[in-house]
Homo-oligomer: A and B are copies of this chain.
């Protein structure tokens, strides 16, 4: 029997394969696979949006340096971020855990403590889940459920040429936070007596260990009357997410190197680690900021926003994504998505 390795197919190949095989038959299903969340219309004046994520020990987190309460918080936040990316308001989550016997009740309490703080912060109810044992590491699967007014939903496939591309916050920090933690782990393994050297890295560590879903931006956009023409959350890196928007919307994009939002600590640490800061911004994952497009007419409402960078514009050249460097040279951008396998 033929054996094809998963890595030959890759993440997008696998998703495409599933999407091609499954056709939606229920009229309630407005949008299935292919956006940050599924969109369901059960006949009210809001859509129900549903998103799910699975976090696996040894793949997504390393318990040797990730405190359980931060992990609980982050697991919720990354799911809320998907609801935010639909311009939605999160309302409920379910939390399923697979645990081995090495976890004590106190450890589970710490995990749920983080989950609870996130529920309080994002005003969501924990409404269910499943808890089971695991032969190996910890697995956390969370489903987030939210609502969005029908005329305010933001998909990936609805960007248009000339729309302005916006990014919230700053990028690349979570990736460098991970590099700092990995380095300290290696130092510790080599010499357990060494004290960790984390001074001056507070911002990066926070970005990696306790990211926030940008619900504040969602509420603000609503207040100033801006509905993004498209939106996605930045979980795998700006380049990858921009490619998703362009692929779904059948557009291209031009972004400007000198507009890319980067924190001073991110920049300095990148230099220290001998990594190009722009690469961190483009390909570093886990920032959980929002990437969205707006109509040109909404430009005045947003142009002076301290926490939203206007980084470029959509074009009518499908899939061509160009980075306009500081020297003025346009460079094509590629992104692979993750290759876990």
Interface positions of A from 51 to 71, Cβ below 8 Å from B: 51-60
In the assembled complex, A143 has its CB within 8 A of some CB on chain B: yes
* A37 interfacial by beta-carbon distance below 8 Å: yes
Query: In whole angstroms, how far apart are the Cα atoms of A24 and B126 in the complex?
Result: 7
* Chain B neighbourhood of A98, CB < 8 A: 54, 56, 59, 139
Residue among A7, A103, A105, A116 with the most chain B CB within 10 A? Answer: A105
Name the 7 nearest CB pairs between A and B, nearest first: A136-B136, A44-B44, A38-B127, A141-B141, A133-B340, A4-B105, A43-B44
CB-contact partner of A14 in B17, B50, B108, under 8 A: B108
Taking a contact as CB atoms closer than 8 A, the residue among B14, B48, B105 that contacts A5 in the complex is B105
Is residue A15 within 8 Å, beta carbon to beta carbon, of the partner chain? yes
User: A131-174, CB under 8 A of B: which get 1 and which 0?
Assistant: 11111110101010101000000000000000000000000000
- Are A43 and B40 interface neighbours, CB within 8 A? no
Distance from A114 Cβ to chain B, minimum over Cβ atoms (Å)? 12
Nearest CB to that of A41 among chain B residues?
A: B44
Bound: A199/B244 CA distance, A: 52
Q: Which of B32, B133, B137, B147 contacts A135 (CB 8 A)?
A: B137
B128 engages A50 (CB within 8 Å):
yes
- Cβ contact within 8 Å between A112 and B21: yes
Flag if B99 contacts A6 (CB, 8 Å). yes
Q: How far is the CA of A282 from the CA of B112 in the complex (A)?
A: 33
Does B94 lie within 8 Å of A128, measured CB to CB? no
Is A295 close to B, CB under 8 A? no
- The residues in A between 1 and 58 inclusive whose CB is less than 8 angstroms from any CB of B are 1-9, 11, 14-15, 17-18, 21-22, 24-26, 28-29, 31-33, 37-38, 40, 42-46, 48, 50-58
A153 CB to nearest chain B CB (Å) = 14
Shortest CB-to-CB span from A254 to chain B, Å, is: 31
Interface check A125, CB cutoff 8 A? yes
Complex contact B126–A32 (CB within 8 A): yes
The B-contacting residues of A in range 63-111, CB under 8 angstroms, are 91-92, 94, 96-99, 101, 103-106, 108-109
CB of A53 within 8 A of CB of B92, answer: no
Q: Is A223 on the interface with B (CB-CB < 8 A)?
A: no
In the assembled complex, A227 has its CB within 8 A of some CB on chain B: no
Asked if residues A106 and B29 are in contact (CB atoms below 8 Å), the reply is no
With A43-B44, A101-B341 given, is the CB distance from A53 to B130 under 8 Å? yes
